[in-house]
Amino acid sequence: MKQIILTVLFCFTISYGALAQNTVKGVVKDSDSEKVLQGVSVSIEGRDESQVTNIDGTFALQNLPDGKFIVTLKKVGYETQNYPVTLSGSVINLGDIFMYVDEFSDNQDLSTIIIADDELNDDSSAADNISSLLQSSRDVYLRAAAFEFSAAFFRIRGLDSDNAKLLINGIEMNKLETGRPEWANWGGLNDVLRNQEFTNGLAPSNYTFGGILGSTHISTRASQYRKGARISYASSNRSYRHRVMGTYSSGLLKDGWAFSVSGTRRAGSEGFVDGTSYDATSLFASVEKVFNDSHSLNLTSIFASNKRGVGSPNTQEVTDLRGIRYNSNWGFQNGEIRNSRIKDVEEPFTMLSHYWKINDRVNLNTNVSYQFGKIGRSRIDFNGGQNPNPTDFRNLPSFWIDEGDLAEAFEAEQRFLNDGQIDWEEIYSANINNSQQGIDAAYVLNEDRVDDDIFNVNTILNADLTDNITLNGKLQYTKLESERFANVLDLLGSTTGYLDINRFGSIGDPERQSDLLNPNRIVQEGDRFKYNYIINSEVMNGFLQAQFKYNKVDFYIAGDITRTSHQREGLYQSGRFENNSFGKSEKQEFTTFGVKGGITYKLSGRHILDFNAGYLEKAPTIRNTFTQIRESNLITEGLDTEKILSFDASYIIRSPRFTSRVTGYFSQITDDIDSNFFFFQSDLFDSFVQETVTGADKRHMGVELGFEYKLTSTLNLKGAANIGEYYYSNNPDNVQFSAEDTETARAQGFVNGVQSFGTTYLKNYRLNSGPQKAYSLGIEYRDPDYWWVSLTGNYFDDTYIGVSPVLRSSAFFTDNDGLPINNYDPIEAKRLLEQEEFGGYFIANAIGGKSWKVSKDNKYIGFTLGISNIFNQQFRTGGFEQARTGGFNQLSEDFNRSKRLFGPRYWFGRGTNYFFNVYYRF
């Protein structure tokens, strides 16, 4: 009997121990600033339990069994911390846990962030990706996409950056014009933009509903910056040649104040592409007053001025003659490079943020911001002169070859090889001669301006309802007033001024007048002309989300509702739209919804399944709402909200030596809108038009894979791959041209300035969204003596040219009498309209660095050197079909020439290029 009692007591003791309720908690802080760290991953090695530190840096792992375990803490940019604990039915408070900066990560990111930012400073659509947002992710695949794939202008899941949200201190920075961020607004301020929280895809964010590409939240709270200073110098041959940067942060002072300042200067006469000058200055200041444990105020101001020369997309004939660095936008003036197309961005903004810790579980953050300034794009306008573009088809040898004039073809080739740039001297000479005769200028340098005033206010709630349930909510209001106009930058030697008329109209016709209220106006430098209007937009948004976190499963659900309105007010009465240009347009209002949810199931501490799904609606952007927006109040026919159905499923492995993620993704976009501008020539008519496609459906699906394997304690093998398919999934029912509402246009079939060609047959054509297949394999060595080197090989394939919708509509095979063209040949048409695929290519990259600790008080000197495209591979990153030859006969004639006059235009990647950076942190 005694033995039975002892056995029962023993079993009860064992069972009680197995079910013992243990808790491990603590507060995570930065070792230098001693400020709390949010977003630190805390887990128990070999078990399912994991958590992310809250806004106050705290964590609490509960319901743990008895035993000996390792508590692991990880955060990007910091060394991983491991704490052994022994649990026996108690609460263990680890107290303040200090995370130390990872000098390897600090050194490497200093280069790679710059590289990604540098790639995004291109004006081409091919540069539209979110590489600079991905550096905050620890995910192996996303970091490869940011740092290895960006040279090919790879797009995550084939999607544009308007599908991701970028926030600074809770304020959304995506532009209402395009839905995309304007990267130049904060370019170069890498030191103070490192405090980021990135969510991938539909994953939940504490600050926003986000998009199907996720969101990035950047915090500039002065008290969160590590105390100290950094100065650095960088040299590159990509966009800028030289960069200097300095940053100082005070940390939180005894009186509750904290401040951080940073400044950078980037400059270069030209980058890898000829004639692409670079002139940028960025300044940052943030100051915070912590009143008590519950309240603090932070004021952040950013000024970034960025002027850079724009490159040109070129036809294959031009590239064959002058190479991939050729740029038609510049020429020499008095021995100096002068680019006619300069993008000038200067939009400073300031933000005031109030942080209120209501109690240990509830935080409320309220933000107010104001942004103003300008975005200008310059170009040469010519009413009375020849086209100054050196790549005009009449300047190319192939034109004269097909004219049968071989002597002139040879002369044209020699002129283009030896010069082939804008002739500034000839332009000035023409204007000076005109002035001497009392004639207005033949040429003028004008600037297309967008001057935005943007006001934002929002409030963000984060509440831990229980230990397992978190509620996130946000209310937001945005008001935009935008002035858009052309202004005269330079009369280019003229003293008489420039006649403000449309050169495409007939002499004497009212349609030539930019403003019928002030006809035949002569403008001088600084005057507005050509077009002048105001856009007023408002956005009201509400977001609510609940997150549930348990030992074996996490899940969330979120909802979003947005009210958007756009209205145009014309200040000129355009001769091309006499009855629909002056005054206010009808206000366009849209109500959109979004809902998403996801679940994470932890098979074990090392194996995780994750699934997300969402339905989102997006209001049309300003650009897509209006047709011929510069000159009319026309609303796009068939205007509708964009709908997106998206989901992804992932299998994740996290072990001490091997980490990986494989994800299958699918997104169906319906009722999308695309717009283009070009000169169109067919059997129907010739005119400068805007092409708009409504009702376009697009499908993005594929598989992502990323892995990292620790071969040794210092040697890592890493790889990434994307196998995607991105294509039109329907034949949009409306492709239309808008040109002008005049008698001439009406005679050509236009109604109120618009002509529809009905269905455009785009189904199964691939999207022009960068490489649809990308592979990366690399090896990285990190020496304990703080030096490292990484070698990576990358292969890209399935990059397609952007197809012309109008070439695949009735306009292609219809004669000017409205009947099909007599000699139309469907087999020949299929050959002419076959989509071009660029072929695969390989790029090898190398990057390495070294840092030295020069004193016991954490002073470091370090450098990074990166070489991209080591083997100088030439490759196309994107391109588009020219639709100037828009009819079957014209396109067939162009194809049958020795070299196409109006063939596709291509963007090319950079050849071998480098980035070098040296810094001192103290």
d(Cα 575, Cα 573) in Å, to the nearest integer? Answer: 7
Beta-carbon contacts of 712 under 8 Å, excluding residues fewer than 6 positions away, are none
The answer to whether the beta carbons of residues 534 and 183 sit under 8 Å apart is: no
Size of the chain in residues: 922
> Mind spelling out the 3-state secondary structure of 447-484?
EEEEEEEEEEEEEEEEEECCCCEEEEEEEEEEEEEEEE
Place of tokens 């659509």: 125
Q: Which helix (H) or strand (E) holds 743?
A: helix 743-747
Classify residue 451 by burial, with Cβ atoms within 10 Å: 0-12, 13-18, 19+: middle
d(Cα 343, Cα 331) in Å, to the nearest integer? Answer: 17
Q: Which helix (H) or strand (E) holds 528?
A: strand 528-549
The answer to whether the beta carbons of residues 258 and 287 sit under 8 Å apart is: yes
The answer to whether the beta carbons of residues 723 and 793 sit under 8 Å apart is: no
d(Cα 93, Cα 91) in Å, to the nearest integer? Answer: 6
Tokens, residue 699: 């499908």
Tokens, residue 519: 């006809």
pLDDT value of residue 90: 82
d(Cα 229, Cα 921) in Å, to the nearest integer? Answer: 6
d(Cα 33, Cα 252) in Å, to the nearest integer? Answer: 7
Show the low-confidence residues of the chain (pLDDT under 70).
1-20, 32-34, 48, 76-77, 101-138, 505-508, 681-687
d(Cα 852, Cα 861) in Å, to the nearest integer? Answer: 5
Work out whether the CA dihedral 33, 36, 40, 44 comes out positive or negative: positive
| pTM confidence score | 0.89
d(Cα 723, Cα 708) in Å, to the nearest integer? Answer: 19
Within 10 Å of residue 689's Cβ, how many Cβ atoms?
A: 24
Q: Which helix (H) or strand (E) holds 826?
A: helix 826-832
d(Cα 64, Cα 219) in Å, to the nearest integer? Answer: 34
Tokens, residue 352: 């005031």
Within 10 Å of residue 579's Cβ, how many Cβ atoms?
A: 12
> Phi then psi for 108, rounded to 5 degrees?
-70, -45
Name residue 755's amino acid.
Q
> Phi then psi for 435, rounded to 5 degrees?
-65, -40
Name residue 598's amino acid.
G
pLDDT, tens digit, 9 for 90 and up, residues 812-836: 998 877 788 889 999 999 999 999 9
Tell me which CATH code domain 19-101 carries: 2.60.40.10
The answer to whether the beta carbons of residues 678 and 689 sit under 8 Å apart is: yes
pLDDT value of residue 847: 96
pLDDT value of residue 683: 54
Q: Where in 571-641 does DSSP place strands (E)?
A: 583-584, 588-602, 607-618
Please work out, in degrees rounded to the nearest 5, the angle formed at the alpha carbon of residue 56 by the alpha carbons of 53 and 58: 45
Estimate the share of the chain in helix, then strand, then coil, as percent rounded to the nearest 5: 15, 50, 35
Ranges of H-type helices in 48-123: 103-119
The answer to whether the beta carbons of residues 456 and 171 sit under 8 Å apart is: yes
Beta bridge partners of 867: 846, 914
pLDDT value of residue 555: 96
The domain spans of the chain are 19-101
Q: Where in 373-468 does DSSP place strands (E)?
A: 374-382, 443-464
> Phi then psi for 825, rounded to 5 degrees?
-120, 110
Phi-psi region of 726 (alpha: psi -120 to 50; beta: other; left: phi over 0): beta
Phi-psi region of 896 (alpha: psi -120 to 50; beta: other; left: phi over 0): alpha
Beta bridge partners of 87: 67
Beta-carbon contacts of 1 under 8 Å, excluding residues fewer than 6 positions away, are none
Classify residue 627 by burial, with Cβ atoms within 10 Å: 0-12, 13-18, 19+: buried
